[in-house]
Amino acid sequence: MTISARVSESGWDVSVETNEVAGGFACTIHVTQRTPDEIFEHQFLHGEVFSTEREAVLSGLREGMLWLELKIAKTIRL
Protein backbone atom coordinates (compact mmCIF):
# COMPACT_ATOMS: atom_id res chain seq x y z
CA MET A 1 0.00 0.00 0.00
CA THR A 2 1.14 3.56 -0.68
CA ILE A 3 0.46 6.34 1.80
CA SER A 4 0.42 9.99 0.82
CA ALA A 5 -0.05 13.16 2.84
CA ARG A 6 -0.17 16.89 2.25
CA VAL A 7 0.38 19.98 4.37
CA SER A 8 -0.36 23.41 2.99
CA GLU A 9 -0.67 27.01 3.97
CA SER A 10 -1.10 30.22 2.08
CA GLY A 11 1.85 30.36 -0.29
CA TRP A 12 3.25 26.83 0.03
CA ASP A 13 2.48 23.10 -0.10
CA VAL A 14 4.37 20.00 0.97
CA SER A 15 3.18 16.59 -0.18
CA VAL A 16 4.76 13.17 0.24
CA GLU A 17 4.20 9.64 -1.00
CA THR A 18 5.74 6.43 0.15
CA ASN A 19 6.91 3.46 -1.85
CA GLU A 20 8.22 0.10 -0.78
CA VAL A 21 11.95 -0.46 -1.32
CA ALA A 22 14.48 -3.04 -0.18
CA GLY A 23 14.69 -2.78 3.60
CA GLY A 24 11.53 -0.76 4.18
CA PHE A 25 9.86 2.35 2.78
CA ALA A 26 11.16 5.40 0.95
CA CYS A 27 9.50 8.76 0.58
CA THR A 28 9.23 11.19 -2.33
CA ILE A 29 8.77 14.81 -1.28
CA HIS A 30 7.14 17.54 -3.40
CA VAL A 31 7.38 21.20 -2.36
CA THR A 32 5.67 24.18 -3.97
CA GLN A 33 6.13 27.83 -3.09
CA ARG A 34 3.89 30.48 -4.59
CA THR A 35 4.91 34.14 -4.67
CA PRO A 36 3.48 37.02 -6.68
CA ASP A 37 6.44 36.64 -9.06
CA GLU A 38 6.62 32.88 -9.55
CA ILE A 39 5.55 29.37 -8.67
CA PHE A 40 8.51 27.27 -7.59
CA GLU A 41 8.24 23.47 -7.52
CA HIS A 42 10.82 20.93 -6.44
CA GLN A 43 10.69 17.14 -5.97
CA PHE A 44 13.27 14.97 -4.22
CA LEU A 45 13.72 11.63 -2.50
CA HIS A 46 14.23 11.47 1.24
CA GLY A 47 17.72 10.20 1.93
CA GLU A 48 16.64 7.57 4.43
CA VAL A 49 14.77 4.25 4.29
CA PHE A 50 12.21 3.71 7.07
CA SER A 51 10.87 0.55 8.65
CA THR A 52 7.22 1.72 8.45
CA GLU A 53 5.22 3.85 6.02
CA ARG A 54 4.06 6.00 8.91
CA GLU A 55 7.65 6.93 9.79
CA ALA A 56 8.39 7.66 6.12
CA VAL A 57 5.40 9.99 5.75
CA LEU A 58 6.03 11.91 8.96
CA SER A 59 9.73 12.33 8.28
CA GLY A 60 9.03 13.35 4.69
CA LEU A 61 6.59 16.06 5.77
CA ARG A 62 9.12 17.37 8.31
CA GLU A 63 11.90 17.34 5.71
CA GLY A 64 9.76 19.14 3.14
CA MET A 65 8.66 21.80 5.60
CA LEU A 66 12.26 22.35 6.73
CA TRP A 67 13.38 22.61 3.11
CA LEU A 68 10.69 25.25 2.42
CA GLU A 69 11.60 27.14 5.59
CA LEU A 70 15.20 27.38 4.36
CA LYS A 71 14.05 28.40 0.87
CA ILE A 72 11.70 31.12 2.19
CA ALA A 73 14.49 32.44 4.46
CA LYS A 74 16.72 32.52 1.34
CA THR A 75 19.23 30.22 3.03
CA ILE A 76 19.15 27.98 -0.04
CA ARG A 77 18.53 29.03 -3.64
CA LEU A 78 17.69 27.00 -6.70
What residue ranges do the domains of the chain occupy? 4-72
Contact 11, 35 (CB under 8 A): yes
CA distance 37 to 59: 30
Q: What is the pLDDT of residues 53-75, one digit of tens each?
A: 999 999 999 999 999 999 888 88
CA dist 60 and 64 (Å) reads: 6
User: Does position 48 have pLDDT exceeding 80, yes or no?
Assistant: yes
The torsion defined by the Cα of 65, 4, 47 and 9, in degrees rounded to 10, comes to -10
H or E element at residue 75: none
